Amino acid sequence: MMLDNLFDRLDELTIEYIKNEPMSRRTTFKIGGNADVLVKIKSNEQLKQVLSLAKSFDIPYFVLGKGSNLLVSDNGIEGIVISLDGLDDIKINGNSILCGAGTSLRALCIAAQKASLSGLEFAYGIPGTVGGALYMNAGAYGGEMSQVVVSATAIDKDGNEVILSLPDMQLGYRISVFKNSGLIITGATFELKEGDANEIKAAMDDFFARRRDKQPLEYPSAGSTFKRPEGYFAGALIEQNNLKGVSVGGAEVSEKHAGFVINKGGATCRDVLSLIAKVQQVVKSADGVDLEPEVIFVGRK
């Protein structure tokens, strides 16, 4: 890879970057080796410039949100990791909220509540960005992004700006058009309903309290480890097979919620992958159900 040439060009363009950034600092699992370079994007124009450089120098890239649904290889990530945290503007226009892909869901929910706009309460406490939430069609407690988003802006691998309507996004259970299209989400528009700010805050606080009570938020994790199998609940299947507390190295099936694999301390990517495989094998053998990971694995093999 022509990383030295890349660094020279990034310096010329005054685009901020960090060499050999530990991905354990950038994921909620607190796991992962170094990225060759992490680039901090602050505008769509900078994103286009970085994509052009990656293409010119034949360097692979990966787009990062808050790292809340990622398991990064112990060997790190080859090439460029693009952080969109700088795309975090929020604009309110009537019942609509326009925001950048790097906006945290927490900030978006608080902005909506302060504007007395209802519909995003379910997302309060989900530890991700707007871009990541659309990518996965994140949801909880009966709500999901497809119910509130009306359009999105994106940039394709050639640097072209694209506007997508709700049908264009093809949002389903933990799936979207963004997963395999190469489109990089840069922003989104949400259409909400007028409500009472105090009632909205009460609902947000209730959802957050439920998460705190039922989920192992005191430990690093990537959220729900497995997708919900049709006709079942992953956590219930894992619990009924007496897998709570089972561990491999520093990775453990949470005693609090069997649907979570947590980092009890010093867990490696290999530990987590081994534990996931063990859980899958036991559930498949006992119940004939294939558990599909919701967590996304990235990085060098």
Read off the pLDDT of residues 94-115 as tens digits, 9 standing for 90 and up: 999 999 999 999 999 999 999 9
Could you say which of 104, 174, 221, 254 is catalytic? 174
Task: Categorize the per-residue pLDDT at 1 as very low, low, confident or very high, splitting at 50, 70 and 90.
Answer: low
Read off the pLDDT of residues 156-206 as tens digits, 9 standing for 90 and up: 989 999 999 999 999 998 899 999 899 999 999 999 999 999 999 999 999
Q: Catalytic annotation on 230? A: no
- Of 154, 180, 214, the residue that ends a domain is 214
Q: What is the pLDDT of residue 160?
A: 95
Q: Catalytic annotation on 181? A: no
Residue 152, strand partner residues? 164, 188
Residue 221 lies in a domain: no
Map tokens 């507390």 to a residue. 245
For residues 177 and 110, state if they share a domain. yes
For residues 94 and 197, state if they share a domain. yes
Residue 21 lies in a domain: yes
Residue 222 lies in a domain: no
Residue 193 lies in a domain: yes
For residues 103 and 205, state if they share a domain. yes
Q: Is 213 exposed, middle or buried (0-12, 13-18, 19+ CB in 10 A)?
A: exposed
Could you say which of 21, 121, 144, 294 is catalytic? 294
Per the model's pLDDT, the better-predicted residue between 2 and 148 turns out to be 148
For residue 180, the enclosing domain spans 90-214
Read off the pLDDT of residues 10-66 as tens digits, 9 standing for 90 and up: 999 999 999 999 999 999 999 999 999 999 999 999 999 999 999 999 999 999 999
Q: How many domains are contained in the chain?
A: 3
List phi, psi (to 5°) of 210. Answer: -60, -40
Q: Catalytic annotation on 294? A: yes
Could you say which of 104, 224, 252, 254 is catalytic? 224
**Strand 161-165 relative to strand 149-155: parallel, antiparallel, unpaired?**
antiparallel
For residues 51 and 153, state if they share a domain. no
